[in-house]
Structures are given as C-alpha cells and as structure tokens.
Structure 1
C-alpha cells in the first residue's frame, strides 16, 4: 500500500502573484521512508546509494515549460555549475545554503499544483523518476565510483537507461539495439501501478539533444 504522501502547503498553492520556492523536508523524509530505506514500503534497490546522499526538495508555484511541454519535476546537482561564473556560482550556493543549511548533493524541484492534484501512483512515479536522475557515478568500465578519502559514493546526474530510435529496434530487434531489459520489463507488467504520466521532466529536457 502506498503511504500517505506529503502535500504542497497552502503558502505555495494560494500565492497567485509572487513566485514561491519553499523547502520540502517532509517530501525528502517521505521519499526515504517509501523508496530508499531498507525497510521501505516500496523499497527500490536502485536507490540504495541515496542512503548516503544529501538531498533537498522544493515546492514551487512557478509554471515551467520547454519545447511546448509542461515541466513538473527537475533534479539538479546541489553544487551550482562553474559555468555560471564566480559571482553566479557564489550567489546560487548562498541561496541553497539559506534554504537547506549547506550545499547538497542533489536538489529536486516539483510543481506544487500538479503534485496537489495527481494520483498517488502518478506522484510516486514522478518522485522516483527524479530520484533515478540522482545517480552514483560510474568509472569507464561501468563500476560504481567511491571517494578514496571517505569510501562514500561519488554522485552525478544520470540520463535514461535507453537511448535508441524506435526504427532501429523495429528493424534489428531488442537484443541488437541493447534494449532487451526495457522490453522484458514492459512485458512483465508494472510492479506497483499502471499509470500514464502526461508530464515533462526538466532534467530530461535539459539533457535532450
């Protein structure tokens, strides 16, 4: 059974004029208890490395879209990109610290309006989608990377498992296209719920070619 999920606060939903970004520690705690902890109700071993990650979440009332699609979730690295310039990076780090107390490994942002209205299964799928972007880095041989000084995982943003054209799969098959695992997972049916999610992920859109 899906645990009672956190809902966006009225302070975000009821503000119709000014942009709001409000930290959601209750959402991170819920995600840990639902998907990450070893005794979680919907435990997913794919997220085990996040036991060691510092994660922050934000509710927002700011509408977002890219390429004509609504964006309702996004995962970013907690440390701002150096491409922002020294002042921009320092300004962004100051904002993260004001919200969460320190610079995190990952920050996830969610559309409060969508999250208040979607089903439990859609909500879980959205949260897990963003969690899948919060990955443990890999070495050139595909092995998980750890910091030599602490033994803790090295984190990085992750793209999708499958990067292939439908036409290639149609012409050459799942094995030749290296998508057999996806096909088998689809044929096995959903483990939790069969949902259709009409949303876009900001992380995916930013990484799309």
Structure 2
C-alpha cells in the first residue's frame, strides 16, 4: 500500500483562504498497515496499545495548510476529542465528527496537506509517528497497562513530549538526563533503514543509492 497523498482539492486552496478539512481514511489505513500491524514495514512495538480493530480510537484529517502556534509552524496535531461545551455547542462539535467519520473518536490527528505533498518519505513517516506517540496509554508502576473497569479498555491520554528544553539552557548548563538520552539516541543513528521506508511509501528502490 503506497503512501497516500492529500486530495488535490485541498492542495489547490489559496493559503490565505479559510482552512479546509477532509477526512483521511486512506491515510489512517496506511498508518495501521505500516506502523501498527505486526507485519507492517515500519512496525513499532511502542504503539502496541493502539489496536487496529478499535476504529473509534483515532481518526485522521487532512488540513489545507498549517497554522502558527507560539511562533512555530504546526504541521501535525493530535487532539483528544473532549468538547468543553454543553448544549448546542457540544452537539455541533459532535455532529461535525459524525459527518466526517461516522463516529465520535477519542482522538483526532490532523496533518498539513501542503507539507505532506512535498515532504520526503522519511520526514513524512517521522511526522506521522510523532503524532502516534501522542496516543498514550497509562501504565502502573510495573509498566503494565491500566485497564478501565467500566470499558475493559486501556486508559488513553494525550501523551506529552519526552523532552522539552531551551537550547540556551543546554548550552549553558549541559544536557539534563532526558535531553542526554535524546542525544544518545540521535548519536546511535536511526534504526529504520531506507529500504523499509521505501517499501512502506512505495518509493522506487532504485532511488536509495
């Protein structure tokens, strides 16, 4: 299954116009087949708590363009759908989910269509996995997943980033334990070979040389 591309209808939208969205069911299927399925080309056991059969756990949207938050361009976003509203406002938000997906998902992953259409296979896969890592499942002190007694399912939450620090602090005081771990992981090099990414994205293997 080749890496899905955004619909042309979104790519042709003027970036100065209001942002438009379209459900990305094909992208979600590719994500499940590529990263979640045990036989996926880029299978990652870190996502073992994400069930390919729980269709309501998360859904995916294409956005016609990125947005700016805290002076940074946001290319992807994972949100836990929990409308802070009542009455008609809450019903409107739920109706939008039903119109897009036919259900009310626990999480929504939104990807910038413009970026996705131009990003390299590696950068695109990194963005998708970044958003998947935000789908967290709570664990106990022994590392076992916590199960909700009412639903029998994992207790999902919006997982924060592993590391958040200022460049200046690291420069002046050195790397904290979490930053140092990130440095060590980077120095050890990527664990995914280009050939695996090529198979996942449908890239011609001749381009790997």
Give the TM bin, normalised by the shorter chain. Answer: 0.7 to 0.9
Alignment partners' CA distance in 1, 2:161 and 2:22: 28
Assess, with a 3 A threshold, how the Cα gap between structure 1 residues 184 and 114 changes in structure 2: closer, same or farther. Answer: same
8 A Cα contact 1:37 1:48, kept in partner: no
Which of 39, 59, 63 is matched with 2:62 structurally?
A: 59
**1:159-200 CA distance string (max 9 Å, x none):** 0112456636974765xx355532331221111369xxxxxx
Task: Give the match's secondary structure for 2:51.
Answer: helix
TM-score for both structures, normalised by structure 1: 0.78
**2:77 is the alignment partner of 1:74:** yes
Task: Give the match's secondary structure for 1:51.
Answer: coil
**2:25 is the alignment partner of 1:22:** no
8 A Cα contact 2:61 2:110, kept in partner: yes
Q: Which residue in the other structure is 2:149 paired with?
A: 148
Q: Which residue in the other structure is 1:126 paired with?
A: 127
Report how far residue 13 of structure 1 moved: 1.3
Assess, with a 3 A threshold, how the Cα gap between structure 1 residues 71 and 172 changes in structure 2: closer, same or farther. Answer: closer
Alignment partners' CA distance in 1, 2:184 and 2:63: 37
Task: Give the match's secondary structure for 1:74.
Answer: strand
Alignment partners' CA distance in 1, 2:164 and 2:46: 19
Q: Which residue in the other structure is 1:102 paired with?
A: 103
Alignment partners' CA distance in 2, 1:26 and 1:139: 35
Assess, with a 3 A threshold, how the Cα gap between structure 1 residues 146 and 5 changes in structure 2: closer, same or farther. Answer: same
**2:190 is the alignment partner of 1:190:** yes
Q: How does 1:82-101 map to 2 (within 5 A)?
A: 83-101=84-102
Alignment partners' CA distance in 2, 1:163 and 1:66: 16
Aligned length: 188
Gaps of 5+ in 1: 195-209
Task: Give the match's secondary structure for 2:50.
Answer: helix
8 A Cα contact 2:75 2:115, kept in partner: yes
Aligned-residue Cα RMSD (Å) equals: 2.6
Alignment partners' CA distance in 1, 2:102 and 2:19: 21
Of 163-172 and 23-32, deviating more is 163-172
Alignment partners' CA distance in 1, 2:138 and 2:48: 13
